[in-house]
């Protein structure tokens, strides 16, 4: 268990989260001692490593991710947060928690900072190949999430495509567009384009997991590159520029913080029968603390029963 995970867990515990650490007990207790903290530990002798195949997880019942998911399934924990192998986390969640009724494909939801606040991008990478009904289910789950987490009574839903008109796009989006138009319980805005993501045109952005993952990683990567260029321009200039840079540093830091994934913690895996969160692989202590706080907030807001209700409301519409 790395230093950052223990530090993040201790920080979350100080803010009221009851954290159980799952992993190699000896190593965790040692790190807890080193940091002068105390938390309950659930021993798991095995670890799924980044280079392992996600599918292996089913056979590795003693791994930390399978043990943590099992604790969640059995009610000993309310939620499972993992910053490890995201494929293995998804596989473990599907295997142990199972799918919710009406959800064909659980999906990852990513909070994207926008000019207007946040938007919920779903699916951010769980399903590389999707059918129109999958996108419809993502829209319903994303709407429930945006209602609870963004406090919006009627969040708007955009479908990522390559033109605003319903007939623009690929085969998948054209069929999904027609389906979303007649989906009850969501406020379908219509097609949106790549530029709409950070503009915040809609509160929810629906995409297949391939497109969604490419978008998420592009958005994160571009912010890094642009701030790198800004840093270079400000430190590479003459005396006036350097003086100016010193004066605007804290203002620019606040802008960079708006785009830092660590700010908005972990990404929920929606559509499984339990609370599962996937953190960034490169999470620092603050990201881990925020991930644990996000998990607590989801449980307290009753995200899971509300998603169940949203999916149930979709059923009669699908049967008709």
Q: CB–CB of 107/276 below 8 Å?
A: no
- In angstroms, rounded to a whole number, what is the distance separating the alpha carbons of residues 92 and 173? 30
- Kindly tell me which of 13 and 214 has the beta carbon lying closer to its own copies: 214
Write each residue from 185 to 204 as x if it is in contact with its own copies (CB under 8 A), else as -, in one continuous string: --------xxxxxxx-----
Structure-block tokens of residue 25? 């007990």
> Could you say which residues in the range 230-269 bind its own copies, by CB under 8 A?
230, 233-234, 237, 240-241, 243-248, 251-252, 254-255, 258-259
Interface with its own copies: number of residues (CB under 8 A): 58
Taking alpha carbons only, the member of 43, 82, 114 closest to residue 283 is 82
Taking alpha carbons only, the member of 150, 188, 192 closest to residue 169 is 192
**228 sits near its own copies (criterion: CB under 8 A):** yes
- In angstroms, rounded to a whole number, what is the distance separating the alpha carbons of residues 28 and 251? 38
Write each residue from 112 to 151 as x if it is in contact with its own copies (CB under 8 A), else as -, in one continuous string: --xx---------x--xx----------------------
- Segment contacting its own copies (CB under 8 A): 38-46, 63-71, 217-225, 287-295? 217-225
Among 16, 153, 171, 319, binds its own copies (CB under 8 A): 171
**217 sits near its own copies (criterion: CB under 8 A):** yes
- In angstroms, rounded to a whole number, what is the distance separating the alpha carbons of residues 208 and 123? 6
Angle (CA) 251 285 18, round 5°: 120
- In angstroms, rounded to a whole number, what is the distance separating the alpha carbons of residues 21 and 67? 11
Q: Which residues bind its own copies (CB under 8 A)?
A: 114-115, 125, 128-129, 160-162, 168-171, 173, 193-199, 208-211, 213-226, 228-230, 233-234, 237, 240-241, 243-248, 251-252, 254-255, 258-259
């Amino acid at each position: 268990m790395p230093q950052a995970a223990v530090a993040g867990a201790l920080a979350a515990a100080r803010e009221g989260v009851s954290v159980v650490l799952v992993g190699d007990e000896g190593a965790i207790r040692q790190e807890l001692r080193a940091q002068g903290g105390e938390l309950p530990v659930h021993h798991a002798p095995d670890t799924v490593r980044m280079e392992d195949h996600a599918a292996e997880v089913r056979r590795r019942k003693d791994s930390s991710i399978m043990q943590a998911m099992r604790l969640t399934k059995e009610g000993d924990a309310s939620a499972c947060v993992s910053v490890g192998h995201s494929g293995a986390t998804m596989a473990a969640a599907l295997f142990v928690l199972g799918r919710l009724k009406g959800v064909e494909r659980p999906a990852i939801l990513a909070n994207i900072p926008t000019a207007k606040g946040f938007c919920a991008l779903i699916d951010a990478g769980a399903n590389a190949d999707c059918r129109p009904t999958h996108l419809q289910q993502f829209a319903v789950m994303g709407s429930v999430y945006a209602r609870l987490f963004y406090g919006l009574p009627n969040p708007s839903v955009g479908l990522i495509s390559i033109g605003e008109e319903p007939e623009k796009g690929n085969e998948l989006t054209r069929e999904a567009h027609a389906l979303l138009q007649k989906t009850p319980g969501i406020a379908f805005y219509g097609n949106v384009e790549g530029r709409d993501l950070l503009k915040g045109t809609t509160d929810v952005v629906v995409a297949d997991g391939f497109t969604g993952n490419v978008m998420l990683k592009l958005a994160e990567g571009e912010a890094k590159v642009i701030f790198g260029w800004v840093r270079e321009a400000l430190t590479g200039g003459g005396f006036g520029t350097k003086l100016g840079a010193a004066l605007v540093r804290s203002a620019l830091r606040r802008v960079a913080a708006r785009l830092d994934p660590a700010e908005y913690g972990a990404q929920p895996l929606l559509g499984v029968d339990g609370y599962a969160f996937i953190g960034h692989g490169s999470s620092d202590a603050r990201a881990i603390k925020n991930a644990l706080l996000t998990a607590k907030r989801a449980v307290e807001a009753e995200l899971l029963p509300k998603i169940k209700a949203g999916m149930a409301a979709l059923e009669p519409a699908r049967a008709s």
